[in-house]
Amino acid sequence: MFAFWRRHSRYLLLATPPLLAGCIETDNNFGKVWSGAGQQAALAVSLPANAPSLTNIYYEAPASSGGSKTGEEHLGIDIIAALGTPVIAPASGRVIKTFTEPFYGNNIVIDHGDNEDGVRIHTQYKHLQTQLVSVGDTVVRGQQIGTLGRTGVLSGGLPHLHFEVQLKGRFQRMEPVDPNVYWVNGVGAVTCFDEATDWPDTPFQTTYPVPCGDI
Residue 164 near Zn ion by CB under 5 A: no
Least distance CB 4 / Zn ion (angstroms): 16
Contact 201, 194 (CB under 8 A): no
Nearest CA to 153 among 42, 27, 40, 8? 8
Residue 162 near Zn ion by CB under 5 A: yes
Torsion angles phi and psi, residue 61, rounded to 5: -65, 140
Size of the site for Zn ion (CB under 5 A): 2
Least distance CB 199 / Zn ion (angstroms): 25
Contact window for Zn ion (CB under 5 A) among 28-36, 78-86, 105-113, 179-187: 78-86
Contact 169, 143 (CB under 8 A): no
Residue 10 near Zn ion by CB under 5 A: no
Residue 178 near Zn ion by CB under 5 A: no
Residue 92 or 163: the one with the smaller Cβ distance to Zn ion is: 163
Give how far Cα 54 sits from Cα of 37, 50, 57, 148, 174, Å. Answer: 14, 12, 7, 14, 24
Residue 8 near Zn ion by CB under 5 A: no
Position of minimal CB gap to Zn ion? 162
Contact window for Zn ion (CB under 5 A) among 46-54, 86-94, 156-164, 201-209: 156-164
Least distance CB 203 / Zn ion (angstroms): 25
> Reduced to 3 states, what is the DSSP secondary structure of residue 34?
coil
Ramachandran class of 105: left when φ > 0, alpha when ψ lies in -120 to 50, beta otherwise: left
Binding mask 93-132 for Zn ion (x = CB under 5 A): ----------------------------------------
Residue 10 or 162: the one with the smaller Cβ distance to Zn ion is: 162
Least distance CB 122 / Zn ion (angstroms): 16
Please give the radius of gyration of the chain, using alpha carbons only, rounded to the nearest integer.
16
Contact window for Zn ion (CB under 5 A) among 23-31, 102-110, 154-162, 169-177: 154-162
- With CB under 5 A as the contact rule, the residue among 78, 104, 150, 212 that binds Zn ion is 78
Question: What residues contact 76, with CB distance under 8 A and at least 6 apart?
Answer: 58, 124, 126, 162, 163, 164, 165, 176, 179
Footprint of Zn ion (CB under 5 A):
78, 162
